[in-house]
Chains A and B, each alone.
Chain A
Amino acid sequence: MIRNGWLALAFHGVFIAFIAAPLLIVCAVAFTPLGYISLPTDGISLRWFAAVADNPRFIDAFWLSLALGAVSSAVATVLAVPAALAIARRRFRGREAISAFLLSPLLIPHIVLGVAFLRYFSQIGINGTFASLAIAHVIVILPFALRLVLSAATGLDSAVERAAVSLGASALTVFRRVTLPLILPGIVSGWLLAFITSFDELTVSVFVSNPSTTTLPVRMFLQIQDTIDPLVAAVSALLIVATVVAMLLLDRLVGLERLFVGKSRHG
């Protein structure tokens, strides 16, 4: 193993500072005792966190995003699991094409999906409803769930399932007692990644939501466009903490490296 020289370590230090600086300043500003954006140089205060708790617009948006994330990630995972099992375990005509098609939303700019949903949902008269947001989010996050379930299902040894069949287990029992437990880590991490992606999604949601169905990122975006105050910094600080917790959970579950790099390369 070749060690890093001092130059490499200096670069590393600057790089990490670059990565961390904007997140740290958001957290610092959230504790300001003053009424405007400033660093908490003379004393810290929780007044802006209290202001968040008292602000129904952010609280409502938070609950909406939470519900939206829960519903859309559950639907996306339920749809992704059977498709992933088919793609990972079977050889059939059109397999590559189906896999590429199901992953294709990753290649489409979110702005394009956003305007397409806006046009279509207004045409069929459901734009701005919770259902339309949920459908849009399922399309956006399904590829993430699919990729992780695919990677889990590809690594599965099919001999285990054949053994279960030869011992007289029915197809349903094999799935429930053998296949499902084995790919469960992939399903859970796919669901969690899908949830986080839905919870953070801005560009598609900004087109599909209306004033009564505003998600948290959309609420924050509109607020920031209007004025940048310590209130949005406090909301952001809370989100950073929540994401760090989710990240540590994901790291325990699958390892972040595997989550992002992905072991299988289907399509």
Chain B
Amino acid sequence: MTPRRAPYWLSAPALLLYLAFLVVPIGAVTLISFQNFQFYGGIQPGFTLKNYVEVLGDGYYWEVFGRTFGIASVVTIACAVLGTFEAIVLNRMANPWKGLFLLVVLGPLLISVVVRTLGWALLFGSTGLLNKALGVLGVAPVQFMYSNTGVIVALTHVLVPFVVISVWASLQGVDPAVERAAVSLGASPASVLRKVLVPLAMPGILSGSVIVFALAASAFATPAIIGGRRLKVIATAAYDEFLNTLNWPLGASLAVLLLLVNVVLLQASNRMIERRYKAVFAEGAT
């Protein structure tokens, strides 16, 4: 093992595993998305765009796409707003509270999504506790279970820690003196927030939001449990095609489209955030 080649040898086992069990399976599933499916013959050889025409031309699938990206957009906005404020509040706390609450906010990321979604199903449906609590506040009962609202609330809970993390990370680079300077120059708390903290945290807000959008658009467990059998999103529709209808080519085309949206979105937004903020930093240096 020569020193020059060493890095390649060291990463070779992982690379070979990825080649055999990531690149090939993704390629294979992309391939069947271009093949025909017959109810009595299964997947047919050959090349066809039929599945994509069906998915992109059918009102039912437009509804599914619309619901998926609609839910993902609302969840992203909710997470961005709530997560940013919470990160700012946490950042201003003193230890041990800071450490404790950071644990409380980030910890749920390690708890199974199934468990967290079950919690919302209990609050929404079986116990009706949430509507009882809203009733005390004088709010009319809301249909959470099997509704977009319920999926949005539960997904916001599942994904908001990602915004807290990334805003928290970008606030660590901010000198507390900046905030004090703004206050000593007569800025109100609201304008410190609006004109100083939020702009400084913007790279974190944006990158956290991108992660949240990507994860919300491809979420499976929460829409499946809270949304029920009728409110389909892309992930649950693909699940149906693969495990119930058994039309794998059609399901594969849904999966490929979701992957495409995800990759394009993540790449484009990373570029945009990097370019935009590099420019800001460079200007600041001169």
Contact = CB atoms under 8 A, between A and B. Distances in A.
Contact of B119 (A23, A110, A142, A200): A23
Interface string B225-247: 10000000011001100110000
A233 B220 CA distance: 20
B17 A240 contact: no
Name the prevailing secondary structure of the B interface residues: helix
Interface in B1-49: 4, 6-8, 10-11, 13-15, 17-18, 21-22, 24-26, 28-29, 32
Given A3-B92, A101-B18, A239 B112 contact: yes
Interface string A175-193: 0000000000000000000
Interface string A214-244: 0001001100110010001100100110011
Given A111-B255, A200-B113, A256-B106, A116 B6 contact: no
A159 interface: no
A175 to B, nearest CB: 11
Contacts of B262: 107-109
Contact of A256 (B14, B103, B115, B218): B103
Contacts of A23: 108, 111, 115-116, 119
B6 A86 contact: yes
A228 B25 contact: no
A15 B111 contact: no
Interface string A84-126: 0111001010010010011011011111110111111101000
A2 to B, nearest CB: 5
Nearest to A89: B7
Interface string A2-15: 11110011011001
B123 A22 contact: yes
Interface string B35-65: 0000000000000000000000000000000
Nearest to A5: B189
A79 B18 CA distance: 11
B15 A85 contact: no
A130 to B, nearest CB: 15
Contacts of A82: 10-11, 13-14
B114 A224 contact: yes
A86 B10 contact: yes
A2 B114 contact: no
B24 A120 contact: yes
Contacts of B238: 111, 115
A4 B129 CA distance: 31
A196 interface: yes
B92 A8 contact: yes
Contacts of A203: 220-221, 235
A82 B117 CA distance: 37
B85 A206 contact: no
A5 B114 CA distance: 36
B15 A111 contact: no
Nearest to B5: A92
B225 A224 contact: yes
Q: Which of B28, B114, B176, B263 has the most CB of A within 10 A?
A: B114
A29 B127 contact: yes
Interface in B143-173: 154, 157, 160-161, 165-166, 168-169
Nearest to A27: B119
B285 interface: no
B258 A111 contact: yes
Contacts of B21: 117, 120, 135-136, 138-139
B259 A200 contact: no
Contacts of A167: none
A262 to B, nearest CB: 8
Contacts of B129: 25, 39
A79 to B, nearest CB: 4
A263 B146 CA distance: 40
Q: Which 4 A-B pairs have the closest CB atoms?
A: A22-B119, A109-B218, A120-B25, A37-B126
Interface of A: 1-5, 8-9, 11-12, 15-16, 18-26, 29, 36-39, 79-80, 82-83, 85-87, 90, 92, 95, 98, 101-102, 104-105, 107-113, 115-121, 123, 135-136, 138-139, 142, 146, 196, 199-200, 202-203, 206-207, 217, 220-221, 224-225, 228, 232-233, 236, 239-240, 243-244, 246-247, 250-251, 256-257, 260-261
Interface of B: 4, 6-8, 10-11, 13-15, 17-18, 21-22, 24-26, 28-29, 32, 82, 85-86, 88-90, 92-94, 101-123, 125-127, 129, 154, 157, 160-161, 165-166, 168-169, 176, 179-180, 183, 189, 192, 214, 217-218, 220-221, 224-225, 234-235, 238-239, 242-243, 248, 251-252, 255-256, 258-259, 262-263, 266
Given A8-B85, A15-B82, A224-B114, 11 more contacts: A11-B85, A15-B86, A36-B126, A80-B14, A82-B11, A85-B10, A111-B255, A138-B17, A236-B118, A251-B103, A260-B165
